[in-house]
Amino acid sequence: MGEAWVIWHNPKCSTSRFVLEALREAGVQPRVRDYQKQPPSEAELRAALTAAGIGARDLLRRKSPAYEQLGLADSSLTEDRLIAAMAARPEAIERPLVFAPDGTARLCRPKEAVFEMLAATS
């Protein structure tokens, strides 16, 4: 995602708001992407998963209605199917996901993970 900090953010989520504020307090002015209004494509999701070093199941928001409605708990679903589901129903994406200028990304859950990320990139 290169060059600047980016946060996939949901302004209704207290964890996401905490992480955004923590970035700003650290002097970082990230590009804020409301991923529900600007859903990531399947290609963007794949790149994000690679940058974060996690699998698609790790990025699923298990508390979302889409998780139940789409049967995403089914352990036989492939990475491709999970990624397609998140692209189609972005509320199924866990948040916040933060991208650093060095190309790494991190799902900031628990929210304090943002401090580890900031320390690692300073």
Q: Indicate if the pLDDT at residue 122 is higher than 80.
A: no
pTM above 0.95, yes or no: no
How confident is the model over 6-41, as pLDDT tens digits? 999 999 999 999 999 999 999 999 999 999 999 999
Asked whether the predicted pLDDT for residue 3 surpasses 90, the reply is no
Please indicate whether residue 108 is annotated as part of the active site: no
Q: Which domains does the chain have, with CATH numbers?
A: 6-121 (3.40.30.10)
11 prior amide bond cis, ω within 30: no
From 13, 26, 47, 54, the catalytic residue: 13
What tens digit of pLDDT does each residue of 53-109 get?
999 999 999 999 999 999 999 999 999 999 999 999 999 999 999 999 999 999 999
